[in-house]
Amino acid sequence: MTTDLNKFDTLLVANRGEIACRVMRTARAMGLRTVAVYSDADANARHVREADEAVRLGPAAARDSYLKVEAVIEAAKRTGAGAIHPGYGFLSENGPFVDALEKAGITFVGPPASAIAAMGDKSAAKARMHDAGVPLVPGYHGDDQDDALLKAEADKIGYPVLLKASAGGGGKGMRVVESAAGFQAALDGCRRESQAAFGDQRMLIEKYLTQPRHVEVQVFCDRHGNGVYLFERDCSVQRRHQKVLEEAPAPGMSAELRREMGEAAVRAAREIGYVGAGTVEFLLDADGSFFFMEMNTRLQVEHPVTEMITGQDLVEWQLRVAMGERLPLAQDELTITGHSFEARIYAEDPEQDFLPATGSLTRFALDLEGAGLEADKVRLDSGVESGDAVSMHYDPMLAKLIVHGADRDQALATLNRALAALDVQGVVTNRAFLQRLATHPAFKACELDTRFIEKHEATLFAPREITTEAYAAAALIGLKQLSRECESDSPWDRHDGFRLNAPHTIRLALCATGHDLTRAQAPDAEDVVIVEGRRETDADPWQLVIGDETLTARIQHLEGDAVAVTLNGHRRRLQARLADNGVVVMADAAGETRLFWRRIDAIDHGQHEAESTLTAPMHGTVVALLVEPGQKVEKGMPLMVMEAMKMEHTMAAPADGHVESFHFAAGDTVGQGDVLLEFAAEE
């Protein structure tokens, strides 16, 4: 194989976060200079710090920065970049962008615009795949987008059906519709998401298979007519149609089925004249039949598991193919070695319906040595470091944790140890949820399908036993926070439990689900624990009453988020930090626990507030107001839609009543905790 890096010596990466860092790592190893681009929100981001050069594109919003074709091309010209790698997302599957690069004489590290167009329109792609002999799921992929026609087609296919944005991907503009009654609302929501993400409202409809696996095949083609498949990945474990855990190879695949799916994937790529790295996604049914779903004309987020089992650097393959070289290996030279998993680390709260989280990462580290893990078996692809900010403007994925083992069991054991060794502080993440997934008996037994999380929701989100130490740590941090809020020396202005001629006394309600705190004094509040704290002076230890126990308690803050909690003379070290009206406690034995706290004397007021206002659960943008002020609504009825980190979230009525007024209009940006509307509950 010949190498001629003079074809371009400078690479601009038109992306951000972990994929930008990942691409630049390989580019540097190949001797290329790297150029980063950034928005105002990313001026100090890791990918900017690691590049040889960096160019500002514009304001924080993606449409004003990372999606501005002219600005990206101008950055390449200014820095002498002969090629642009798009990563994934943003402009990675934008045909007009590729055309513009060709006119500017800049190499696009990816397929031709014609191939992107062929697969970008999912309806047209289905027709092409049918002609190429690739199996298809029953559905409607037509140009007629009349609401009534779409509803009639869904009725004809039979529920449940899957609504998908024709120009979409990544779970955007996608809904499962269980019955005819919910079709129109789902269609409206899909169209809004699709318009916001892709500027296109066209939909396609597919029969929703109830127990399919999501198996995708990595394909690669060069400009010399060569095409191979680098085997398959199982991406069945998803939430909101976005992948959470991926693995390669897919469990239970026979050599014959692997060959059939691989050859079908290469046929799909050849049908559209594909060049570079691509992924053909299939639904694999329990009987072994498989159906074409879509082709992603770019590098996938989960490509590292393929790299782990094949020993190949797919980004290097991309760059060499972009330079006009032939594929490094033929099909019969590719082999599978061992097993690999990838876990996506998101800034989100699984306990609050996976709401995205923002903030500052006070710590982000993976201690391989302390966990007894081999460096060549564990890989952390991240776009953040300790001290970095997590913005509301972009996808909430922080990093990918990738592991390799001799077989699936060994790789899974390594994944669990690595997840435990990953220390993420300052922002709520899904790390603990990933541990529950990876240790779930059904996952270990390879009982996989795309509704895995939904099917096992009861066990994945089952209430866990919370230790006395966790309650005490949360209470002590809450008590300390309340003491800090006292700004006046006057006893009349103090809120720290001051009593004349009596111990300071504060009663807190603690609960693992914050919404239950408004009913902490109700007889059925079994999941709420009341903690009473008393002390004579600020210098004295707290006397905590937790249930039937009275404990002498102190808390000492150590380095970072580490604390030492002493209960009746027994000192324990754990991690604990404040987070969004709650405390996250991490102890080796109990794992991660998040407890919300509130003063008992604020409960009555809080219940009234919950009935009269609705607050934003996260930073985001108002997308739509669904009712008029004064309109009568029932409990649970959708009132407004917010968008954060590329996903929509619906705010529902807390009770029967009516909206008195909205505080924001469609298009407004809101902060977490902002009052969205005034609500009057029915008497």
Query: In terms of Cα–Cα distance, which of 182, 175, 238 is closest to 212?
Result: 238
DSSP string, 424-469: EESS--SHHHHHHHHT-HHHHTT---TTHHHHTHHHHTPPPPPPHH
* Beta strand 53-58 pairing with 33-39: parallel
CA–CA distance, 641 with 651 (Å, rounded to integer) = 6
Query: In terms of Cα–Cα distance, which of 337, 345, 216, 340 is closest to 277?
Result: 216
Q: How many H-runs (helices) and E-runs (strands) does the chain carry?
A: 19, 39
- Across 555-566, b (16+ Cβ under 10 Å) vs e yields beeeeebebebb
Integer-rounded Cα radius of gyration of the chain = 27
Q: Is residue 499 annotated as a catalytic residue, yes or no? A: no
Burial environment of residue 107 by CB neighbours within 10 A (0 to 12, 13 to 18, 19 or more): buried
Side-chain-side CA neighbours of residue 299 (13 Å): 24
CA–CA distance, 120 with 166 (Å, rounded to integer) = 8
- Across 88-99, b (16+ Cβ under 10 Å) vs e yields bbbbbbbbebbb
CB 583 within 8 A of CB 595: yes
**Axis crossing angle, helix 147-157 with helix 183-198, rounded to the nearest 10:** 120
Query: In terms of Cα–Cα distance, which of 301, 332, 367 is closest to 89?
Result: 301
Residue with tokens 């037994």: 445
Widest pairwise Cα distance in the chain: 89
- Residue 341 neighbours by CB under 8 Å, 6+ apart: 245, 246, 247, 305, 402, 403, 411, 412, 415, 438
CA–CA distance, 15 with 90 (Å, rounded to integer) = 7
| Sequence letter at residue 236 | S
* Beta strand 339-346 pairing with 397-405: antiparallel
| Alpha helices (H) along 122-171 | 122-131, 147-157
CA–CA distance, 269 with 246 (Å, rounded to integer) = 23
Which three-class secondary structure state does DSSP give residue 122?
Answer: helix
Query: In terms of Cα–Cα distance, which of 511, 501, 504 is closest to 482?
Result: 504
Burial environment of residue 61 by CB neighbours within 10 A (0 to 12, 13 to 18, 19 or more): middle
- The active-site residue out of 16, 175, 213, 298 is 298
Q: How many C-beta atoms lie closer than 10 Å to residue 549's C-beta?
A: 12
CA–CA distance, 318 with 218 (Å, rounded to integer) = 13
Burial environment of residue 58 by CB neighbours within 10 A (0 to 12, 13 to 18, 19 or more): middle
Residue 643 vs residues 164, 256, 395, 604, 640: alpha-carbon distances, Å? 18, 44, 12, 31, 10
CA–CA distance, 250 with 367 (Å, rounded to integer) = 29
Q: Give me the active site residues, please.
A: 298
